[in-house]
Chains A and B, each alone.
Chain A
């Protein structure tokens, strides 16, 4: 058979074999069979030497064309088969994406701590440091230096656990304010978060132990307008920029003027609902300008310095944030509660 016929035959055979191959490996075998070093096309090329010189270029050209045709088809067929194989693999590997993800087994902070951290964050951003003090405290720091001598009627509102006549469980973290003023010169800008104790029987809204964040600012030229601006900023950072607040006169023995700050009910936006008991506002914190006697008692000249103080209950804020209607839940620590928040 002439070389040309042989080449045509190889091409014909190869093309049909490749088209018939249905595995990538089969295509590879065909490549070796036809194009490999020991393949059929190479074998023919070895016969080229026997051709007359003038035919050689022509046959060379033809064999190149055959090789190219086969290579092109192999590439094409391989690609098709590869895609096909991949499609099959993907199908086989398909997952049920509606099955649950694997639990990463991470625990959680107690919601109260989360809220405390958020509040600290806000005040840190406004230049307040976090001050700490003992929970078992001297009567002197908890009451007397806060303008509440023994038998002061305001002590009635803070029923106290006593250790002895001079030592008690602090009813407010204001004691930390006193300790700070005694140990640090103005300017002072602190918050004092912590545990406080009052003789209250446990029920849905009362607990003998709860958590307060009190704050104190003492500097030259501090005004009641500063108090309002600072506390309104705090509440807006905590509840959203559009929350309205109002300040109402109130009484605390260690501040004057004293106020309570209400915020517009975040559920009904002032319309009145069950959460705000129809008032449209929710009482959120107590505050006021520090009384001169308190400053002077701590060695701060009240004709030079003024300041404000405030206190907010972290437990109540936590309950409102998470929609918890029973304070006891916070201290029961049921796993099913902790996992929710």
Chain B
């Protein structure tokens, strides 16, 4: 909502209040100012000039050399190329050093050898249009009122020195979507009286009786319909002051009749419409729901299909307007219009919102109706329109009006409980002050503290609403700040701790955390090579997505991770290791059941960790969660992993995830040529398998004994199988077993590999003997041989 300062000031006494003070005060009392602008700020040193003489430029056949009285001691010489200027005209003249909108600066100079001490300006050069000043022509110098004195600042003359304030009005305050509403707020904010004169029609003649029939067939949606008639309309431009105000509010002046309806809307927050009487068939207006299959061509020349949920204004034959939104094609005012019907009605907010959505359109009128308007306001606004008709001599007002009431809401009353409000706000305000604040906002407060909010404040329902009125006029910043008392114990839950710890552990392992969108596309799972019957295909579908690639809620966070990898590869980041802990959504059959939201961990690494590096990270997070030792079983039949470089990860026999190198085809589906190793771990399952706090094992008192063995076996034999044999053979005295070398090559037979293990033995209560170690080793070798692994010679 834009409003000129001069107009706001008409409603209250703001003498001595600067624009900044006004804006700051209104912002702090609830009408937030977004910005304020003044056209005059962009125009400097442009004055009225009277053209005294004109001569042809000696060196040009289109330039004129003019002598112009710009209020100085002697006339200035100005060269112009415009052809619409005559001796005696008063025109805007930019003098030496003048500034024009867009940052243009005018300097004295020579035009084809002739001195030019300034420039005559067109409307465009002043940032204006012919709509603002219909008496001027579009291209050419703006010719002003010839009676204007030369040398006057142009901003004052054209009314450009007013400041327009842009307010952010919240949806609960439609009463502030008009200048009088803002004037009321300003008056209350500065504790000054609010002046809002009652409009009056003085010269009405004849009677509307018999000229117009109105029937309201939809009283729930049309709360009130008032109308009046003006005959012998004299369509012409409205006066400068009105155009000026419309312009500063951001509304384009059209003609006096349309301008009056817009002016009243801006002043009273009452959208109005003016129908040409001849186009209302049978002089009958019916407010009704649209019929199935009905159409209307609206004023913007669009043919719109209507549905029975939408409300229309119709004549005896057809809809002539979409109620509260826009008139139909013949409903406007034309140069030859003789008689108009002014409509000032109150339509239900819900219905207007519904129609806006259905038709996909919003207008200055509908954005007001959709927030809920005051049915008490229609007649007052209509009277104001008629008052303006008389003031502007725009026509002859016919006596009387039509006023049909629908199901108007009842006025509500509340009890003012000062103690409750003080204890709610944390203030100590006297009751008299509360009452005076409420009255300044036109709330009626009786002696027994019964509060009747004004009819335009449908948002006031409860004690809290009254409290807010008091708080905002008192000033939020005058309310004290206190710290809550009472005992409060708070800590992260075990689960929240677990996840924070997990993330920190991954960071310590050298991984970078990423955050990605929770969407996936309809084709995303195809890129992953996921089978058609995969569980991951059970996705939550968004009914109004941006596009196919964000149409589903992701059932796996791997794809968005691969997009991160691809982006980094494409940005030529040489290597990267990432993780994300995020939600994967798994839909149920019943669309009204919420999906399962499982938290997953995804790790991805390229040119960095490789299979064993990622495996090490997975082992580390398991160790950190104190799960049982994780087991990795070859995963050879996955549709997305390299068949020789993938594993399922299990803890205590429960699968908690998978890991491996992506198939080259899958990687390239994501535009990645590098080898990418990923792990997908269920955080839920990792958490479920967590151990308690790790217990301390006393430090050893007796020395350890170390033995290394190397065995040769077929390449296909998993080391894990051999390790298991060694552990069984050695029993409890085996403190640790590590693989320190795996070799294939010319020193072993083809198809064979050599694995070297380092074994550390230790007894908790005595020194281990050589003999015992030797026995353990030979038992190990015996068992390994059964698995096809023999001591490397």
Distance from B774 Cβ to chain A, minimum over Cβ atoms (Å): 41
Answer whether residue A153 sits at the interface, using C-beta atoms and an 8 A cutoff.
Answer: yes
What class of interface size applies to chain A in its complex with B?
35 or more
Whether the pair A134, B597 counts as a contact (CB closer than 8 A) is yes
Whether the pair A128, B490 counts as a contact (CB closer than 8 A) is yes
Distance from A281 Cβ to chain B, minimum over Cβ atoms (Å): 10
Residues of B within 8 A of A153 (CB): 171, 349, 353, 370-371
Whether the pair A224, B424 counts as a contact (CB closer than 8 A) is yes
What class of interface size applies to chain B in its complex with A?
35 or more
Which one, B349, B465, B471, B515, contacts A333 given CB within 8 A?
Answer: B515
Residues of B within 8 A of A253 (CB): 172
Answer whether residue B18 sits at the interface, using C-beta atoms and an 8 A cutoff.
Answer: no
Answer whether residue B697 sits at the interface, using C-beta atoms and an 8 A cutoff.
Answer: no
Whether the pair B486, A248 counts as a contact (CB closer than 8 A) is no
Residues of A within 8 A of B594 (CB): 134, 136-138, 167
Given contacts A117-B500, A167-B592, A333-B564, 18 further A-B contacts (CB under 8 A): A106-B510, A107-B512, A107-B577, A109-B504, A110-B512, A120-B492, A123-B490, A126-B488, A136-B585, A166-B592, A223-B425, A229-B481, A229-B482, A230-B484, A251-B172, A257-B472, A335-B512, A335-B573
**Most chain A C-beta atoms within 10 Å of own C-beta, residue among B426, B464, B504, B543:** B464
Answer whether residue B654 sits at the interface, using C-beta atoms and an 8 A cutoff.
Answer: no
21 A-B residue pairings within 8 Å (CB atoms): A107-B506, A109-B504, A126-B488, A129-B493, A136-B597, A151-B350, A151-B354, A153-B370, A169-B553, A189-B488, A223-B423, A224-B479, A226-B426, A228-B479, A228-B481, A246-B28, A257-B471, A257-B476, A258-B468, A331-B515, A332-B567
Residues of A within 8 A of B508 (CB): 106-107
Answer whether residue A247 sits at the interface, using C-beta atoms and an 8 A cutoff.
Answer: yes
Near A by CB (< 8 A), chain B positions 540-570 give: 540-546, 550, 553, 564, 567-568
Answer whether residue B222 sits at the interface, using C-beta atoms and an 8 A cutoff.
Answer: no
Whether the pair A223, B482 counts as a contact (CB closer than 8 A) is yes
Whether the pair B513, A107 counts as a contact (CB closer than 8 A) is yes
A 229-260 binary contact with B (CB < 8 Å = 1; else 0): 11011000000000000111111010011110
Residues of A within 8 A of B518 (CB): 135, 195, 197, 209
Answer whether residue A319 sits at the interface, using C-beta atoms and an 8 A cutoff.
Answer: no
Question: What CA separation (Å) do A329 and B503 show in the bound complex?
Answer: 21
Beyond A248-B476, A251-B173, A256-B468, whether A229 also contacts B512 by CB under 8 A is no
A 6-35 binary contact with B (CB < 8 Å = 1; else 0): 000000000000000000000000000000
- Which residue numbers of B lie inside 8 Å of A, CB to CB? 27-30, 32, 170-173, 349-350, 353-354, 370-371, 423-427, 462-465, 467-468, 471-472, 476-477, 479-484, 486-493, 496, 500, 503-504, 506-519, 540-546, 550, 553, 564, 567-568, 571, 573, 576-579, 583, 585, 591-592, 594-595, 597
Distance from A248 Cβ to chain B, minimum over Cβ atoms (Å): 6
Which one, A129, A187, A256, A334, contacts B467 given CB within 8 A?
Answer: A256
Residues of A within 8 A of B540 (CB): 136, 163
Look across to chain B and name the residue whose beta carbon is closest to the beta carbon of A278. B35
Residues of A within 8 A of B553 (CB): 136, 169
Residues of B within 8 A of A107 (CB): 506-513, 577, 579
Whether the pair B482, A226 counts as a contact (CB closer than 8 A) is yes
Look across to chain A and name the residue whose beta carbon is closest to the beta carbon of B595. A136
Distance from A81 Cβ to chain B, minimum over Cβ atoms (Å): 39
Near B by CB (< 8 A), chain A positions 100-154 give: 105-110, 112-113, 117, 120, 123-124, 126-130, 134-138, 151, 153-154
Answer whether residue A266 sits at the interface, using C-beta atoms and an 8 A cutoff.
Answer: no
Answer whether residue A285 sits at the interface, using C-beta atoms and an 8 A cutoff.
Answer: no
Among A48-56, A88-96, A214-222, the one that faces the other chain is: A214-222
Residues of A within 8 A of B550 (CB): 208
Question: What CA separation (Å) do A117 and B370 show in the bound complex?
Answer: 41
- Which residue numbers of A lie inside 8 Å of B, CB to CB? 105-110, 112-113, 117, 120, 123-124, 126-130, 134-138, 151, 153-154, 156-157, 161-164, 166-167, 169, 187, 189, 195, 197, 199, 201, 208-209, 217, 219, 221-226, 228-230, 232-233, 246-251, 253, 256-259, 289, 291-293, 306, 330-336, 338-339
Residues of B within 8 A of A257 (CB): 425, 464, 467-468, 471-472, 476
Whether the pair A225, B426 counts as a contact (CB closer than 8 A) is yes
Whether the pair B542, A226 counts as a contact (CB closer than 8 A) is no
Look across to chain B and name the residue whose beta carbon is closest to the beta carbon of A291. B464
Whether the pair B514, A338 counts as a contact (CB closer than 8 A) is yes
Which one, B471, B476, B591, contacts A164 given CB within 8 A?
Answer: B591
Beyond A163-B543, A256-B464, A331-B517, whether A226 also contacts B512 by CB under 8 A is no
